[in-house]
Structure 1
Amino acid sequence: MYENVCKYLDVHGIGRDIRNIDVDLVRKYISWLLKDYVQFKEHKFKPDYSKKKGLSPTTTNDYLKTLRTFFRFLFEENKIDENPYEVVNSVKHTDTEIVVLSVEELKALLDAPDKRSYTGFRDYVLMTLLIDTMTRINEALSLKISDINFSNYTVTVRASIAKNRKAQPL
């Protein structure tokens, strides 16, 4: 996040000095993130089709939240006279509607694996785990036998594999 601010300052010929950051610059930075910033531009393993221009409003707001916190700290420690992020609002966005499978589609999906084969049954079990627990695929694939309590039929997603870094009993 901080490297993006530095990248913006460098691209626009603005010195990397905290005193150069004001409300107007923050608003221009937000506009640059939304319209001109190229995701994964210098990433050598990402294909060109994934290097799109502009960040989503949600990602931009995540960047702003971090910078807002940093500048609040600088202001409270008397390192800066005013916090330029204090008066800048987050980017407004509408949440996209999540399309949910119908009951028939879900049944068809669960009927797809051949439950008589090892791999088909494994896939069926994984699909039911994902549906029943709403875990992320990486969390489900990282589970160990010790995460499963067979006596009370619960699964615990360890903090080390959870996206939010909090253990979740399911």
Structure 2
Amino acid sequence: MQKTIRKYKRGNNAKSTNKVTGELTLFEMFDRFMAVKKTEALSSRTITDYYTNFEYFKKYLVEDLSADEIEIDTFRGFIGYMLHEMELSPVTANVRIRTMRAFIRFCFTEGYIKNPIHESFKPVKTPEDTLESLTPAEIKKLLNVIDDEMYTGFRDKIIILVLLDTLVRISELVAIKRANVDLKAGFITLEAGETKTRKTSSVPLSSKTIKLLAEYMKETEEFGDDHLFLTYDGHKINPSTIRIILRDYGKEAGISNKRVSPHTFRHTGALLYIMNGGDPFSLQKILGHSHMNMVRKYIQMTDTDVRRQHNAFSPLNAVFGKI
């Protein structure tokens, strides 16, 4: 495939125009943008993502741009480059596009550039998401391969149950401290600094999870660490470690057609919550989403799921009784 010529690539002798005109260059604008973002109480991960996504754009440009050189074709070319030369998925490309739109919107609002370029390039269309979930039978197969006589196996079993029961994100799970767990009230508090919404929230626990968590917390008390989930030598566990552990359990359980990951449990838990008669509004609160359209993505049902629900809740049941 013939590569697209990058319109804005300039020679090595090109110099920043701000020395002459007093205007900021694109890279200098980004520094200003990030200085503002760091005052917005964003998570360290979000700040890192901004820098990472902009680095991809810098590699595409090769050289800095003056304010006058920042045009819509710059960003359209970047989008085409990601999709057709790097062959990124639309979902991955959109992550970087959204960063650039937020940055350029800031530049326009601050008066660094004259035109609202961000209004002329938008995230690309993506296929409708099909989120994978595990069946109850697959969850049982997964739990059955875990040796919970060993500390790490018992911990891993608790992790799976907490992921399913509370629907927390993996970043939230590893940040849970022992003090955040109220076994008597049956809640785990998620601290504002660790949630995606930057708000403190509480997620409920089922009686089964409470019982096993009590046993686990008693067993790990001697480690003396504030965090709930720990490595075998008593240190805070890493999210990537959990991802690898779950993947390996999935392989051992023979679940080869689905990805066994923390996020898969979030999808699974949300779907099973609805299938068991839970309402979408309480699910929205547990998931920590501000918009119902995000909740809808988590509860995609198969035709079999829909038929089972229809049999249980058909309007005819109210007329003739449940058969």
Common topology (TM > 0.5): yes
Moved segments of 4+, more than 6 Å: none
Matches within 5 A, 1:90-105: 90-105=123-138
* Structure 1 residue aligned with 2:24: none
* Structure 2 residue aligned with 1:89: 122
CA contact (8 A) 1:26 1:85 kept: no
1:135 alignment partner, SS class: coil
Instruction: List per-residue Cα deviations over 1:112-149 (Å, max 9, x = no partner).
Output: 32344444332222211111112233432332110101
> Structure 1 residues 139, 78: CA separation in 2 closer, same or farther (over 3 Å shift)?
closer
* Structure 2 residue aligned with 1:29: 78
**Separation in structure 2 between the aligned mates of residue 147 and residue 125 of structure 1, nearest angstrom:** 16
CA contact (8 A) 1:34 1:56 kept: yes
Instruction: List per-residue Cα deviations over 1:45-69 (Å, max 9, x = no partner).
Output: xxxxxxxx44332332232223223
Matches within 5 A, 1:1-170: 1-10=53-62, 16-36=65-85, 53-170=86-203
The residue identity in structure 2 corresponding to 1:85 is H
Please report how far the alpha carbon of residue 32 of structure 1 lies from its aligned counterpart in structure 2 after TM superposition.
1.2
Larger Rg: 2
CA contact (8 A) 2:67 2:112 kept: no
* Structure 1 residue aligned with 2:236: none
**Separation in structure 1 between the aligned mates of residue 112 and residue 171 of structure 2, nearest angstrom:** 41
Please report how far the alpha carbon of residue 92 of structure 1 lies from its aligned counterpart in structure 2 after TM superposition.
0.8
**Separation in structure 2 between the aligned mates of residue 78 and residue 118 of structure 1, nearest angstrom:** 58
Determine which structure has the larger helix proportion and give its number. Answer: 2
The residue identity in structure 1 corresponding to 2:84 is K
When normalised by structure 1's length, the TM-score is: 0.73
Greater relative contact order (CA < 8 Å, ≥ 6 in sequence): 2
**Separation in structure 1 between the aligned mates of residue 167 and residue 74 of structure 2, nearest angstrom:** 41
- Flag structure 1 segments of 5+ consecutive residues without an equivalent: 37-52
The residue identity in structure 2 corresponding to 1:139 is E
Cα-Cα RMSD: 2.4
1:123 alignment partner, SS class: helix
CA contact (8 A) 2:192 2:201 kept: yes
2:103 alignment partner, SS class: helix
Aligned residues: 151
Identity among equivalent pairs (%) = 32
